[in-house]
Amino acid sequence: MISQSGPERRRHPRHRVRLRIQFLRGESEVAGEIFNISRSGCLLVTPVTMRVGEQFTVHLPTIGGHTQVIQVVRVRPVGMWYVVAVNFEPQLLDESVLLQLASQDPGPQEEPEQLF
């Protein structure tokens, strides 16, 4: 789990991961990478900008091929990339799956902004 200073504001604990994902934006398939995930959302990095409120369906192959609707809540440009915070609609059901993913590939200790 990610350690933070100060009180936790999130509804669910975040887990460091590094998961490659694909999603459709219009008729274009876009690649992204999830850097942390919780039952209610994730932080991903992608080469395309997005608008707050925009919704997409993503394919999460490491979660049993699960398809998930995401809604963009924050976008921050970092060099040639975009760090995007999204909510899952609806929430992921199983915390144990997230714990398993985090144990398989805990991802980098750095935040995405430090890597790109």
CB atoms within 10 A of CB 43: 22
CA angle 21, 105, 75 (to 5 degrees): 45
Q: Give Dmax over CA atoms of the chain in angstroms.
A: 42
Distance in angstroms (rounded) separating the CA atoms of residues 46 and 31: 7
Write out pLDDT tens, residues 7-33: 456 577 888 888 888 888 878 888 999
Run of H or E including 18? strand 15-25
Looking at domain 15-94, does it have CATH number 3.10.180.10? no
Residue boundaries of the structural domains of the chain: 15-94
This prediction has a pTM of 0.76
pLDDT of residue 45: 94
- Please, which residues bridge with residue 112 across strands? none
For the chain, give the mean pLDDT: 80
